[in-house]
């Protein structure tokens, strides 16, 4: 009986697919991304907290940054502080909740304390080293043991969404609240009193203490109600409005000379954001120059180089001395929210569409990224939600309106070097382009949120609203070379057109009416896959007539793509990337090296490297190609299969082969018993010389064979894995 069990177990193990090891490395960009907080210590070293990619540090005044290793993925950093001993504290949250990180060696190593609260918005440390943190729902917490433990100190604090905390030289604490104005504590946070006399706007975003005069300054307002800078000369007893009015004051800082710097904006989209400066205690204010107009989250002054550093919704900016002429910096900060990726043709460049920073392009495998020129709209930094390309190599990008209530679709005819806006001729209140598709006739389809589908039959010159009006269209798919177009909408519905978009009929509705069909994709056999935010992946093998639930049941499916050898890759909003090598029967999570597992986009380049766009950590790329790499397009004289190199190998090796004309090629690895281990190539290839990677990390030492089959040609060779 025991032998029968072991034999059954042995057969079960042999029947499982063998996944090769896939690992990732962060690309060198696109640089930038949202910077919620900036901290500068007494040495002039700059610490930057990002929205998803962790903490970065610069020791050369912002010319270069490097990522600090915290051991935590998906790290969202909202606040930073330093005590008199130089210890760095960071208020962060990730998939496991909120916590305080602490480093006692300039960020080289970190310990953390978990906090029972939502987002930690702000931190302040008094002269006794007591740490006060402000949260967005649980008020204020205090630590008297250097961040090891925290307790709530909310007595009298009737509004508990805390935006900023400041402490003066006497130890008096001031808390800025959302909607509740200002609160003050004179006994180390034990009790709080509301002090709003003179305030006409209770949306208080920031507080700063003037170290010269001791006066307290606050910034008020939001995107719906304009605010101002107020000053109190008696510890919050009375507030007086300053001359900086009719604006949204988002950030304040005051340097050791008493110069005040204020970040202001008229909308979160940042078209008119500025950094202002006052050298007379708030009486008059001067503007900055060349500031990009993005929403200012934080401001810090560096005494070591007398420059201002501003963290914005777009990137980090630095003034040139104190003349308020700003420049973008942040080489090394890869914190962009990359929403879409596309491979260009014919050169296989990669374009990345970001959230409010426009489009970037790499021409060298991710080593460098440059801004794509947006013509007259370059300064708006529009987001790009989706891409599609036509048979001529033109690229279409779908964008969201900033404040103009318009649909934006852009186009590039030079592989992403330059984009121009296309005239959609539609002005909608709620629309944004969330999906794009191009069919075999080069008709372009744009799925919008709220206004259905637009179509252009003249390469983007003119657009017509064709169907599904008042629907949120999250995904589009053209199954080429057929006439079928699929659209995924809210309510978990899938629609299909079989006449190039002239008419759409519903072919599926999820039992979960709140679900969204986020992505639609088809493989080389025209099998259609639909990824939902709840419910995993659906599969149709009959052009959408019937749908079945796949074995992939994880939520938040954002992207589905297929490798050259038929493997399926899925990017999810929370759990990273999954791979299937057996047509979706089994799935393996492949997150080694990913420090951010919120995935928005996936794409292969011509060398079969896989890129993923993340929500806050820019772009990652696989360390090794997946499938095959084209070494040369020079036409060989004959079919050939070379000896793998290295051989013996541990754990990976490369197999080179050549084909003299376009052929369907299969390259397979077998074990010594003749059992198929892995299919490295299984597709039609153009004439040329290719290289395939084989990874034996999950295999035992021994002899293996690999076989090339192409148009009647067959050759096998032996290789040895030694561990």
The pLDDT value recorded for residue 270 is 45
Read out DSSP for 599-612?
Answer: EEEEEE-TT--EEE
Query: Which of 132-136, 262-266, 321-325, 630-634 tops mean pLDDT?
Result: 132-136
The answer to whether residues 255 and 303 touch, using CB atoms and an 8 Å cutoff, is yes
**Number of Cβ within a 10 Å radius of residue 480:** 15
**Structural element, H or E, at residue 8:** helix 2-15
At 681 the pLDDT is 83
Q: Given pLDDT bands bounded at 50, 70 and 90, which one contains residue 558?
A: very high
Q: If pLDDT is split at 50, 70 and 90, which confidence band does 232 have?
A: very high
- Stated as kind and residue range, the H or E segment containing 58 is strand 55-58
Answer yes or no: is pLDDT of 4 > 70.
no
Work out the angle at residue 216's Cα, subtended by the Cα atoms of residues 213 and 219, and round it to the nearest 5 degrees. 135
Tokens of 650: 């541990």
Residue 382 pLDDT level (bands cut at 50, 70, 90): low
Task: Flag whether pLDDT at 624 surpasses 80.
Answer: no
pTM: 0.82
What's the pLDDT tens digit per position in 638-652?
999 999 999 999 888
pLDDT: is 15 or 478 the higher one?
478
Length reported for the chain: 723
pLDDT for position 52 = 86
Percent of the chain whose pLDDT exceeds 70? 92
Contacts of 291 (CB under 8 A, 6+ apart): 273, 274, 275, 310, 317, 326
Which is more confident, 16 or 70? 70
For the segment 224-244, the average pLDDT, to the nearest whole number, is: 95
Alpha-carbon distance values, 470 to 187, 505, 507 (Å)? 56, 15, 18
> How many CB atoms are located within 10 Å of the residue 349 CB?
20
Structure tokens at 412: 């590039």
Within 13 Å, how many C-alpha atoms sit on residue 455's CB side?
21
- Residues 504-515: tens digit of each pLDDT: 999 999 988 889
Region of 591 (left: φ > 0; alpha: ψ -120 to 50; beta: rest) is alpha
All domains in the chain, ordered by first residue: 32-334 (2.130.10.10), 336-468 (2.120.10.10), 630-721 (2.60.40.1930)
- State the Cα–Cα distance between residues 247 and 251, nearest whole angstrom: 12
CA distance 516 to 528: 16
Rounded Cα–Cα distance for residues 18 and 15 (Å): 9
Angle at the Cα of 237 (from 235 to 239), degrees rounded to 5?
95
Q: What's the confidence (pLDDT) of residue 266? A: 67
pLDDT band at 401; cut points 50, 70, 90: low
Cβ proximity of 618 and 53 under 8 Å: yes
Q: pLDDT-based confidence at 603, cuts 50/70/90? A: very high
Which residue, 306, 253, 242, 305, is CA-closest to 275? 253
> Are the CB atoms for 250 and 300 separated by under 8 Å?
no
Distance of alpha carbon 571 from alpha carbon 340, whole angstroms? 12
- What is the per-residue pLDDT for 535? 86
Q: Is the pLDDT of residue 112 over 70?
A: yes
Q: Is the pLDDT of residue 533 over 70?
A: yes
What pLDDT score does 97 carry? 81
DSSP string of 126-161?
A: -TT--EEEEESSS-EEEESSTTS--EE--TT-----
| Cβ pair 123, 182 in contact under 8 A | no
Residue 16 pLDDT > 50, yes or no? no
Nearest to 182 by CA among 162, 167, 168: 162
Residue 391 has pLDDT above 80, yes or no: yes
Count the Cβ atoms, other than its own, within 10 Å of residue 542.
Answer: 10
Going by C-beta distance under 8 Å and a sequence separation of 6 or more, which residues neighbour residue 280? Answer: none
| Residue whose structure tokens are 């203490």 | 209
State the chain's mean pLDDT as an integer. 88
Range name among 193-207, 419-433, 539-553 with the lowest pLDDT average: 419-433
Q: Which residue has the higher pLDDT, 524 or 690?
A: 690
Query: How far, CA to CA in Å, does 611 sit from each of 65, 246, 384, 619?
Result: 23, 45, 17, 7
Residue 309: burial class (beta carbons within 10 Å; 0-12, 13-18, 19+): buried
**Residue 313's pLDDT band (cuts 50, 70, 90):** confident
Answer whether residue 271 shows pLDDT above 70: no
Q: What percentage of the chain exceeds 90 in pLDDT?
A: 65
Instruction: Among 10-24, 422-436, 484-498, name the one with the lowest average pLDDT.
Output: 10-24
User: Mean pLDDT, to the nearest integer, of 574-580?
Assistant: 94
255 or 431, which is more confident: 255
pLDDT at 15 over 80: no
Mean pLDDT of the region 244-266: 93
Burial classification of residue 526, based on how many CB atoms lie within 10 Å of its CB (0-12 exposed, 13-18 middle, 19 or more buried)? middle
Q: What is d(CA 472, CA 533) in angstroms, rounded to the nearest whole number? A: 14
**C-alpha to C-alpha distances, 411 to 419, 601, 629, nearest whole angstrom:** 5, 19, 29
Q: What is the mean pLDDT of residues 620-633?
A: 81
Rounded average pLDDT over 669-698: 85
Residue 358 above 80 pLDDT? yes
Sheet harboring 37-40: ordered strands across? 37-40, 46-49, 55-58, 66-67
C-alpha to C-alpha distance for 602 and 423, rounded to whole angstroms: 29
Per-residue H/E/C for 515-576: CEEEEEEECCCCCEEEEECCCCEEEECCCCCCCEECCCCCCCEEEEEECCCCCEEEEECCCC
Tell me the mean pLDDT in the region 528-547. Answer: 95
Which pLDDT belongs to residue 11? 31
Residues 299, 46: Cα–Cα separation, whole Å: 12
Q: Give the pLDDT mean for 702-718.
A: 96
Q: What are phi and psi of 450, to 5 degrees?
A: 110, -15
For the ranges 115-119, 241-245, 301-305, 577-581, the lowest mean pLDDT is seen at: 115-119
Quick check: 354 and 384 in contact, CB under 8 A?
yes
């Amino acid at each position: 009986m025991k032998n029968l069990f072991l034999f059954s177990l042995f057969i079960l193990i042999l029947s499982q697919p063998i996944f090769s090891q896939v690992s990732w490395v962060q690309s060198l960009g696109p640089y930038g991304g949202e910077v919620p907080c900036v901290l500068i210590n007494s040495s002039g070293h700059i610490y930057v907290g990002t929205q998803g990619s962790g903490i970065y540090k610069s020791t050369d005044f912002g010319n270069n940054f490097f990522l600090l290793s915290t051991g935590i993925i998906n790290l969202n950093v909202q606040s930073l502080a330093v005590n008199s001993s130089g210890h760095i504290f960071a208020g962060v949250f990730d998939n496991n909740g909120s916590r305080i990180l602490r480093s006692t060696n300039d960020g080289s190593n970190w310990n953390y304390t978990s906090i029972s609260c939502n987002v930690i918005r702000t931190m302040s440390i008094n002269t006794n080293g007591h740490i006060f943190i402000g949260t967005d729902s649980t008020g204020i917490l205090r630590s008297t043991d250097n961040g090891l433990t925290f307790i709530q100190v909310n007595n009298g604090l009737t509004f508990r969404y805390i935006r900023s905390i400041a402490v003066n030289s006497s130890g008096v604490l001031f808390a800025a609240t959302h909607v509740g104005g200002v609160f003050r504590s004179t006994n180390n946070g034990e009790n709080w009193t509301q002090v709003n006399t003179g305030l006409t706007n209770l949306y208080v975003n920031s507080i700063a203490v003037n170290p010269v005069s001791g006066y307290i300054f606050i910034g008020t307002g939001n995107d719906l109600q304009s605010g101002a800078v107020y000053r109190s000369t008696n510890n919050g007893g009375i507030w007086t409005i300053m001359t900086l009015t009719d604006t949204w004051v988002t950030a304040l800082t005051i340097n050791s000379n008493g110069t005040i710097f204020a970040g202001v904006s008229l909308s979160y989209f940042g078209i008119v954001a500025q950094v202002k400066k006052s050298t007379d205690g708030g009486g008059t204010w001067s503007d900055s120059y060349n500031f990009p107009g993005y929403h200012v989250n934080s401001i810090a002054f560096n005494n070591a180089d007398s420059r201002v550093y501003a963290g914005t919704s777009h990137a980090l900016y630095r003034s040139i001395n104190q003349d308020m002429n700003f420049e973008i910096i942040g080489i090394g900060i890869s914190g962009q929210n990359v929403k879409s990726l596309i491979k260009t043709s014919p050169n296989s460049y990669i374009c990345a569409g970001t959230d409010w920073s426009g489009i970037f392009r790499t021409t060298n495998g991710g080593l460098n990224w440059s801004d794509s020129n947006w013509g007259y709209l370059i300064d708006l930094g529009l987001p790009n939600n989706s891409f599609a390309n036509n048979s001529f190599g033109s690229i279409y990008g779908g964008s969201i309106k900033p404040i103009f209530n318009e649909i934006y679709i852009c186009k590039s005819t030079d592989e992403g070097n330059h984009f121009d806006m296309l005239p959609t001729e539609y002005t909608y209140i709620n629309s944004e382009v969330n999906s794009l598709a191009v069919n075999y006739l080069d008709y372009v389809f744009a799925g919008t949120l709220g206004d259905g589908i637009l179509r252009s039959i003249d390469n983007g010159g003119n657009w017509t609203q064709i169907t599904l009006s008042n629907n949120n269209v999250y995904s589009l798919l053209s199954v080429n070379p057929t006439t079928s177009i699929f659209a995924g909408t809210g309510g978990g519905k899938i629609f299909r057109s079989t006449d190039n978009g002239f008419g759409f009929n519903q072919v599926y509705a999820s039992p979960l009416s709140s679900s969204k069909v986020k992505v639609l994709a088809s493989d080389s056999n025209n099998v259609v896959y639909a990824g939902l935010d709840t419910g995993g992946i659906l599969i149709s093998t009959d052009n959408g007539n019937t749908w079945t639930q796949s074995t992939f049941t994880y939520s938040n499916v954002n992207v589905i793509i297929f490798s050259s050898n038929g493997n399926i890759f899925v990017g999810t909003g929370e759990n990273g990337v999954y791979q299937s090598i057996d047509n979706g029967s089994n799935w393996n999570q492949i997150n080694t090296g990913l420090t951010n597992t919120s995935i928005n986009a996936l794409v292969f380049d011509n060398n079969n490297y896989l890129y993923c766009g993340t929500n806050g950590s820019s772009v990652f790329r696989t360390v090794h190609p997946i499938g095959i790499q084209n070494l040369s397009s020079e036409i060989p004289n004959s079919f050939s299969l070379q000896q793998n190199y290295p051989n013996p190998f541990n754990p990976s090796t490369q197999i080179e082969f050549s084909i003299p004309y376009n052929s369907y090629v299969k390259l397979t690895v077998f074990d010594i018993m003749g059992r198929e281990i892995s299919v490295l190539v299984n597709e039609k290839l153009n004439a040329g010389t290719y290289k395939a990677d084989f990874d034996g990390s999950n295999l035992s030492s021994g002899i293996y064979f690999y076989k090339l089959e192409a148009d009647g040609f067959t050759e096998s060779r032996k290789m040895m894995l030694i561990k």
